[in-house]
Amino acid sequence: MFQKFYPSTRSHSTYEIDFETLYKRGYRGIIFDIDNTLVPHGAPYTVEVQELFDHLKSLGFDTCLISNNQEPRVAPFAKAVNSKFVSNAHKPSRKNYVKAMNLMGTSTKTTVFVGDQLFTDVFGANRAGIMSILVDPIHPKEEIQIVLKRFLEKIVLFFYERRKK
C-alpha cells in the first residue's frame, strides 16, 4: 500500500552518500532537492555544498536542482554551485523529473534523485522511474505543513523498515 512512497535506499545525510560507487554503477546524473537536503530550509548555499558539487563534477556527474520553490530561490543557488535547475517543479509530478533528466542528457537508468521528503521528493522520483535516496532532514525547524507530513512519513517509514528486515 505504501510502496509507491518507499525510497530505493536511505542515507543519514546527502554528504554521506557514496557517489563514487554510484558512478561505478553507471549513474551519470543526480537530481537534488535543496531545502533540508543540501542546506537548512531557506538557507543559501554553503562551502560544503560547493565542495560536494565540485566533487561530483570531478567524478563525471551532471547535476540538476529540482524544487517546488520559485526561481528567485532556486536560480541563485544553482548558479552558485554551477548546476542546472528546475524551479516551481510541482513535485511529485513526474513532468519536471523528466525535464531534469533531459537537461542533463540522462535517462531513468542513469539518474539518481536525492531528497528529504517521501510524499513529494521520493514519490515523484518513483513516479518518474528513477532511483531515489531519502536523506534525513538537515534541520528540524520546518513549515507547519511539512511538520504534519513528517508525522505521516514516520508511519510509512515504519512499514518500509519492517519490509527491509
CATH code: domain of residue 156 = 3.40.50.1000
Q: How confident is the model at residue 143 (pLDDT cuts 50, 70, 90)?
A: low
The region of weakest confidence among 96-105, 106-115, 147-156 is: 147-156
> Which carries the bigger pLDDT value, residue 91 or residue 165?
91
* Global pTM value: 0.90
pLDDT at 147 over 70: no
Instruction: Supply φ then ψ for residue 147, to 5 degrees.
Output: -60, -45
Report the C-alpha gap between 25 and 19 in whole angstroms.
10
Q: How far is CA 120 from CA 28, 38, 45, in A?
A: 23, 16, 22
Q: How confident is the model at residue 164 (pLDDT cuts 50, 70, 90)?
A: confident
pLDDT digits 0-9 by tens, 38-64: 999 889 999 999 999 999 999 999 999
pLDDT value at residue 110:
98
Q: By residue range, what is the domain housing residue 76?
A: 3-164
Residue with cell 558539487: 53
Nearest to residue 100, comparing CAs of 119, 114, 86?
86
Q: How confident is the model at residue 141 (pLDDT cuts 50, 70, 90)?
A: low
Number of domains in the chain: 1
pLDDT value at residue 154:
82
Report the C-alpha gap between 14 and 133 in whole angstroms.
9
pLDDT at 156 over 90: no
Q: What is the mean pLDDT of residues 115-132?
A: 96
pLDDT at 145 over 70: no
Strand partners, 9: 133
Q: Which sign, positive or negative, has the C-alpha torsion 39, 153, 119, 113?
A: positive
